[in-house]
């Protein structure tokens, strides 16, 4: 058999074990989605209720956003899987780089100029 690159397959080569794993993965992803919806509700309620001081609310909703980032990256985009070592390396370095970027820009054009 030559290249089998552009023909479809009649069946999946998934073993039973892999099938069970995929089902479980799917369930976990639904739970992660439920969490994301709940976190979004929480963030909107925290701002809409106007009961806590703004400083506290802002740090709270940013914290919630980081949890959502974690859920998306690790569960929806599979970064938690073992064969994602390089993907993790790149993503984490991108995130680490972006923190000083944001801080520096706020300081330079926000605090110094304004």
Partner 1 sequence: MSETVDVSKGLPAHPERATLEGKNKFVGFWVFLSGEVTMFATFFGTYLGLRNGTAGGPEAADLFHMPLVFIMTMILLTSSLTSVIAITAMKKNQFKKMKLWMWITFFLGVAFLGFEIYEFVEYVHYGLGFSTSAFASSFYSLVGLHGAHVVFGLGWVLLLLIRYNRAGITLTNAPKFYMFSLYWHFIDVVWVFIFTVVYLMGIGGG
Interacting residue ranges for partner 1, rule: CB under 8 A: 1-15, 18-19, 22, 25-26, 29-30, 33, 36-37, 40, 43-44, 47-48, 50, 54-55, 57-58, 61-62, 64-65, 68-69, 72-73, 76-77, 83, 86-87, 90-91, 93-95, 97-99, 101-111, 113-114
Neighbours of 37 (CB within 10 A): 10
What's the min distance (Å) between Cβ of 80 and partner 1?
13
Neighbours of 62 (CB within 10 A): 10
Largest interatomic CA distance in the chain: 68
């Amino acid at each position: 058999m030559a290249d089998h690159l552009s023909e479809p397959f009649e069946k999946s080569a998934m073993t039973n074990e892999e099938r069970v794993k995929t089902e479980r993965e799917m369930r976990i992803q639904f739970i992660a989605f439920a969490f994301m919806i709940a976190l979004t509700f929480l963030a909107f309620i925290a701002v809409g209720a106007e009961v806590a001081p703004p400083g506290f609310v802002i740090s709270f909703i940013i914290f919630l956003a980081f949890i959502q980032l974690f859920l998306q990256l690790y569960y929806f985009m599979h970064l938690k899987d073992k064969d994602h070592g390089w993907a993790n390396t790149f993503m984490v370095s991108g995130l680490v780089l972006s923190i000083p970027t944001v801080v520096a820009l706020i300081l330079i054009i926000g605090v110094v100029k304004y």
